[in-house]
Structures are given as structure tokens and as C-alpha cells.
Amino acid sequence: MPSHQNAAIITSQTIHALGMTLLQAGKADEAAFQFRKALSLAPGFTDAYLCLGHCLHLAGRFDEALEVYDRALRIAPDSAPVWNNRGNALLELCRYNDAAESYSRTLELAPGFHDARVALGTCYQALGQFAKAQAACEAVLRVEPNHAEAHWNRALLLLLHGDYHEGWREYEWRWLKRNFTSPLRDFAQPRWQGEPIGGKTLLIHAEQGFGDTLQFCRYVPLVAALGARVVFECHPPLAPLMNMAGVRAVPMGEPLPPFDLHVPLLSLPMLFGTRVETIPAEVPYLTPPAARLPFWRGLVPNEGRLKVGLCWAGKSYPDPGRSCPPELLAPLAAVEPISWYSLQFGREGALPLPMADPTGHVGDFGDTAALITQLDLVITVDTAVAHLAGALGKPAWVMLPHAPDWRWMTGREDSPWYPSLRLFRQARPGSWREAVQRVAHALESRARSARLAPAG
């Protein structure tokens, strides 16, 4: 090898080492610059491609990461780590079939790459191939019984299919899962394990997102009924709704009062031994603050038409497939007569239908609840709006992706968690157009019934 090439390789390795130091310090953009420099000196440096792709992945630039991995594979076509990382980028892009192919190739090259097999199971789950997803989890757990990500995926599959007995137990593995949505809380006080608690003060702390808290706060008064003094720590925007008897709501970030024991909110179904047939599903279990109602009654007048709220998109994480492209909602506009109200928060661009947009007056979920109570019907994708409508006992139609979140189960149009909800599922992955059309037909029937109903 010529001396100048040898020097370039040595220099690129030094630059790569600097990039690794920056990456470990959380400076991904600066690290990416160094990895690019290393590759300019040594275009065949596979590790630099891997690290550059990882930096781009951390920045959410998944298309660019995919290009980097494809370049790496032209140099090292049998690199299992590159195939795996390529699968990770494709998974983020919701290209589930392509991601599954990358993970399968990873496992051909490295059968013991358990994370790749778990990720392959995630692809199968997103594609609605639940038996294959379950088999992938089980295969990993046979070899590595403490693999937290495999347990987590298995929990979601068990809960999806209504196996709550085992599913809630598996769900406890969430605290060992890498990059779990909520941090594990560390208190000096012990965790409540379901023992008698009369006369003691229990801190119940919310976790994960708004929808999780809205769904599972129904358990908080059940704990109070056991004789405990309950402190419920929850997201600040939800605190005005948590006006439950025997419960003191404390917004996250505010000082906590003294307490004897604590428990994460989503561990309560396990502690109460919840099965599908024993879900505490009496609604409403939340009510809007009474002082907010006069304002919202004035903002949503009764004009003799159906008043329908619409929400078509949620946050991209954890599941971008839950959102419906707004241009596909056009069939709803053909249904008359409807007074439409937007329930879409953080919206950019034009509204997809002629509708009023009262969201600028919403300060927290207390306002959203007061708004929803003025409506006749809510139509939404799988967002916190669906859970709030269900908790309020408001009729709501929820449009779901083909492979839904575990809480909606499979093969049913109702929800055992929310008696007032009706589910409209995609017939196949990505088929929002067909799902919206079914909603439009149902809405036409609902509007026709309202027109024929006697006045007064």
C-alpha cells in the first residue's frame, strides 16, 4: 500500500475516533461532520458509514441515513450491523416490508442478533402479521429470557388479543426497555404491590402520554375506595380534569406532599387483576370543570344541525400510521347538514373541511372536555381526543390503522374500555380512503336520523 494511502487511513481512523468522542458526548451533528471527513479520506471505512448513519438517525433524517447504509452495503454487502441499521431507518419510515427484508438479511448473516429479531417482530406486528410477530418474540426469549424489548413486544401482542392475565405481567418489563417513553421513578418510599392500604397515603404517578393517563385514571378512585389517601401526579394540562372524589391531583413538576407508598398508573390494571370482562367501564368517569361550560356553550351554539368534532392526526411518535391524510377526508364534507368543529391541535395548513376552529381558545384538557361536551359526535383517529371523548361518555367514532394499538384489540367495532365508542378499522394497511368512506356512510345515516327526529 502506498505510504500516502496508509497515512490517509491512519488519519481517517483518528478523525473517526474524534467523531466517536463527540457522539458519546451527545454532539451528533458535530460527530457527523467528523465521520464525513473520515469517509472523504477512506471511502471504504464501513464503521464510519455506520456511525454517520446513526447520527443521521438520531437527527430524524431517516432518508439520508438509508442512503448512507446503502452506500455502505455496496462496499460491505455482508455486514450484519449495516443491514440491521438499514432496517431501523426503514422502520422509522414505516416501510415495514422493506425493513423486514433488511432484518431478515441481518439474521441470515448473524442468527444471534436478537435485537434484529425483535425488530423483525415489530415489522410483522405493524403489518398485522401477529402470529409471526409473536413467534419472533418467543424465539428470542427462549435464548435470552431477560430480553426486555422482546418481553415488551410480547406484552403488546398479548394485550392486543385480550390475554390480560399474562399481558399485564409482561407489561411491567416496560421499565427495563431501552428508551422507554417515561423514566422509572426512584422514591425512598416502597412501591405498592396491592396489599391493604387503608389509612395510608399512596402516590399514583402518571406515565407515558395524555391518552394513557385519560384511559387509566379510571383506576385512581378505585384505589381511594380501598381507604387510601390518594395523591395523583399527572400531566399539567390534564390536572383540571382530575376532580375525582378522594383524590388530590398534583401537576408534574410541582412539589409532592408526603406519602407512604407509590405506584405507576399503568400498573394498576395488573394489581386489580383486570380482565376484558372486568374492565371498570362505567362512563363518564371524567367531567369538565363546571366553570368552563358557559363559555363553551356560547361558542358552540345549537343551530339545529349535528355538531361534529373532527381530529385527523396525532403525534408522529410512537406511531405515525395513526394519522389520516387530511385530503382523504373529503367524503365527510358531502354529508349535510353538519356543523363541523376542529379538534385538531397543532395543525398546520388549511382545514380539510369547512369547519369552525375553536382550538385557539383551548388552554388545557379542561377546555377540550368542555368543548367536546357541547358536540353531538366526535370523529377522530387514535389520539388523546378519542380517550377523552370515551372518558366523558361522548359518542365518538375512532378510525384505526390496520394494525392498531393494543388497547383497541382486534376484530371488533366496539371497545370494552369505552361504551360510547365505535371503531372503524382499516381493511388493509394504509387504506384510510375506504375507512373514511365507511365513516361517511355512517354519518349520513346519523344525519338522516337527526333530520327525521321530531323537534323538541
Report whether 228 contacts 202 (CB < 8 A).
yes
Query: Count of alpha carbons within 13 Å of 102, Cβ hemisphere only?
Result: 25
- pLDDT for the residue numbered 20: 86
* Cα→Cα distances 390→245, 401, 448, Å: 20, 19, 24
C-alpha cell at 156: 403488546
Report whether 246 contacts 224 (CB < 8 A).
yes
The model carries a pTM of 0.91
Residue-wise pLDDT for 324-348, tens only, equals 999 999 999 999 899 999 999 887 7
User: Is the per-residue pLDDT at 84 higher than 70?
Assistant: yes
Q: Mean pLDDT throughout 7-23?
A: 77
Burial track 302-323 (b if 16+ CB lie within 10 A, e otherwise)? eeeebbbbbbbbbeeeebebbb
Report whether 231 contacts 201 (CB < 8 A).
yes
Report whether 238 contacts 364 (CB < 8 A).
yes
Q: Mean pLDDT throughout 395-421?
A: 96
End-to-end CA distance of the chain: 93
Residue 383 φ/ψ, nearest 5 degrees: -135, 180
| Per-residue H/E/C for 259-271 | CCEEEEHHHHHHH
C-alpha cell at 427: 381493511
Interatomic CA distance for residues 24 and 449, integer angstroms: 62
Interatomic CA distance for residues 106 and 100, integer angstroms: 10
- pLDDT for the residue numbered 4: 46
Residue-averaged pLDDT of the chain: 92
